Amino acid sequence: MTFRVLSVCTGNVCRSPFAAQLLAARLAASGVVAEVTSAGTHAMVGHAMTPEAAEMSLRAGVNPEAHVARQLTADMIDEADLVLVASREHRAAVQQVSPRASRRTFTYREFARIADFVAAESAADPAFAYPRDPRALVEEVAASRGLAVPPARPEDDDVVDPYRRSPEVYAEAERLITVAVDGLVRAFAATASGGRGAA
Catalytically annotated residues: 9, 15, 125
- 104: Cβ contacts below 8 Å, ≥ 6 apart: 80, 81, 82, 83, 138, 142
Give the Å distances, CA to CA, from 134 to 72, 81, 82, 83, 110.
Answer: 23, 9, 9, 13, 16
Q: Is 144 helix (H, G, I), strand (E, B) or coil?
A: coil
- What CA–CA distance (Å, rounded) separates 31 from 185? 10
- What CA–CA distance (Å, rounded) separates 90 from 87? 5
Which sign does the torsion angle of CA 67, 75, 44, 4 carry? negative
Determine the distance from the C-alpha atom of residue 20 to the mean position of all C-alpha atoms in its chain, rounded to a whole number: 7
